Chain A
């Protein structure tokens, strides 16, 4: 798998390159916005399978990385991008999800300390999935709670909804909650009925539908 990595801090970039290589990825590392955009739009043999991008990059040290990723996805819809950031903003999450194509991820930088989960996230995004940081989702859930839009769910259903919104598959949800996969399927069916969301067999559509509901 060919990964474009955009990170300007040397220590972190070095660590990420090593982690990704250990897991059999070919890494193209860049350290600023313009060269990131070039690397993202490369054609042929050098075209990336997925990009891991820090939000804040030189030269402006603002959200250069995110802007480059969004621009690349405008030109190439569905280009898989995983955004890493020191903080999560609902606004940025919405911009990433706006196209509705999936193949996006938005994680706190802290998550790279858990190599297994980080590599799993990169693979899921590369495969067209959606990965949202637990913090984005927990903020959305707190807000939905306060607005009373998910009051009808049981605690277990809420747990399942949370993991589903993070972009996890039924198998992963079952593993995370120590329940069987069929129990998860039962809970998801019940959630969809209660919240009146159209159930979808496609995992990615399911995530997007759940996120759209929570953002209301």
Chain B
């Protein structure tokens, strides 16, 4: 919040440069917009059919650039509309049909509406700081040198410049204008994004369609993963605990038959029964731990990750800033994700120390695992991280691997979620 004055000044200067770019861009947009209108007007005489597809594509290129700028400059993500029909449909179609498809496309008309709005917002809104700075520069840097040569009627804003005092006044006023322009630049950029956003973003119906497509995809994968998990549990029970219980029953039967005739042998068999039952319990314990680790259920994500750290062969430092318990499925996904990252660090990185940081901010759980190993991890190798990524997908979560040669390797996982309950555990 409280940045150093220098960084504030730097940022303001960058914003002024961006304003300059945006206003130049606005000129290009209005030119291309006019071209598109011309093409539309020429459609009745046939020439428009040839002109429209390239003009529409040029306009889309400009609007795409604006969208990516909004993302880079003001952190406002604007969802892109569907690609233009020219790029979607068969290129062999004649220009008449292609133009028809473009005219029927909602995104095209929004682009065009934006092209008419942009000169106003880009040309005026964004030009305000530029105008202030340039006029301020005229007052502060030019007036002191020229006022002597100009007769009466030399006004700077509301100051009649005809003496040293009024010249100084103009200079101060000019400096104030420049400062105002610098300060206004970032705000104007944000305002500009806000005003153009409704037309730049994909129509709501397209956004929803994209969302539905993504949800269908992640749901199918979640169901697949769940089915595979159930099969694994079934197989595990069948081959593990269930088999041991059958063996236990058979041994007990033999012990019962021997108890009269050979008590010593029966005793041996009963000791065997105890060992088998311990084995069955151990199988079940491992199975339960793989489904949902008890410490996670008891204490939540923070302590569960601390417990992972204690079991790791590496020196793991855990730092958690979680205000409360998170929803159980999110906790579980995050736990197994961190577990996988720690296992990878232990197996491949050659690291000695690992830092795990868990934070929750503005509806986003973020887990970072950083090791001091040799780096160069290849995300496409091995199935572990792919599985984790797939699991996080279900929550619209992301996994990011940063591993330059020579290290360090950082895995960052983010899951959007709401808090579930106030923290009850004492630790």
Contact = CB atoms under 8 A, between A and B. Distances in A.
B299 A63 contact: yes
B268 interface: no
A154 interface: no
Given A67-B426, A89-B307, A94-B310, A56 B298 contact: yes
A174 B295 CA distance: 35
B155 interface: no
Contact of B298 (A62, A110, A113): A62
Interface in A72-124: 86-87, 89-92, 94, 108-110, 113-114
Contact of A86 (B274, B278, B285, B307): B285
A91 B289 contact: no
Contacts of A89: 294-295, 307
B277 interface: yes
A147 interface: yes
A201 interface: no
Interface string B306-334: 11001111000000000000000000000
Nearest to B313: A146
Contacts of B274: 113-114
Interface string B289-308: 10000110111000100110
Given A62-B297, A62-B298, A67-B426, A90 B310 contact: yes
Interface in A43-75: 55-56, 60, 62-63, 67
Among A62, A87, A91, max chain B CB count under 10 A is at A91
Contacts of A62: 297-299
A143 interface: yes
Nearest to B310: A90
Nearest to B424: A60
B278 A91 contact: no
Nearest to B426: A67
Given A110-B281, A113-B274, A87 B311 contact: no
A92 B306 CA distance: 11
B307 A87 contact: no
B212 interface: no
Interface string A21-56: 000000000000000000000000000000000011
B314 to A, nearest CB: 8
B288 A143 contact: no
Contacts of B425: 67
B319 to A, nearest CB: 16
Contacts of A55: 298
Nearest to A93: B310
B298 A63 contact: yes
B297 A110 contact: no
Given A86-B285, A86-B294, A91-B303, A143 B311 contact: yes
Contacts, number: 48
Contacts of B282: 110
A108 B289 CA distance: 14
A4 B281 CA distance: 26
A156 interface: no
Contact of B307 (A91, A110, A146): A91
A90 B285 contact: no
Interface in B240-295: 274, 277-278, 281-282, 285, 288-289, 294-295
Interface residues of B, number: 23
Contacts of B298: 55-56, 62-63
A172 B295 CA distance: 32
Given A63-B299, A67-B426, A114-B274, A87 B294 contact: yes
Given A56-B298, A62-B297, A62-B299, A87 B310 contact: no
A110 B294 CA distance: 17
A90 B295 CA distance: 10
A91 B278 CA distance: 23
A91 B306 contact: yes
A193 to B, nearest CB: 26
Contacts of B311: 90, 139, 143
Given A110-B278, A146-B313, A87 B289 contact: yes
A89 B298 CA distance: 11
Contacts of B303: 91
A142 to B, nearest CB: 8
Contacts of A94: 310
Contact of A87 (B277, B285, B312): B285
A91 B313 contact: no
Contact of A91 (B277, B288, B295, B312): B295
Contacts of A139: 311
Nearest to B299: A63
Given A56-B298, A114-B274, A87 B313 contact: no
A87 B278 contact: no
Interface string B328-353: 00000000000000000000000000
Nearest to B274: A113
A113 B278 contact: yes
B115 to A, nearest CB: 60
A89 B311 CA distance: 9
B273 to A, nearest CB: 10
Interface of A: 55-56, 60, 62-63, 67, 86-87, 89-92, 94, 108-110, 113-114, 139, 143, 146-147
6 contacts: A62-B298, A62-B299, A89-B294, A110-B277, A110-B282, A114-B274
Interface of B: 274, 277-278, 281-282, 285, 288-289, 294-295, 297-299, 303, 306-307, 310-313, 424-426
The 3 closest A-B pairs by CB, nearest first: A146-B313, A63-B298, A90-B310
Given A67-B426, A91-B306, 16 more contacts: A55-B298, A56-B294, A56-B298, A63-B298, A63-B299, A86-B285, A86-B294, A87-B288, A90-B310, A91-B299, A92-B295, A108-B281, A113-B277, A143-B311, A143-B313, A146-B313
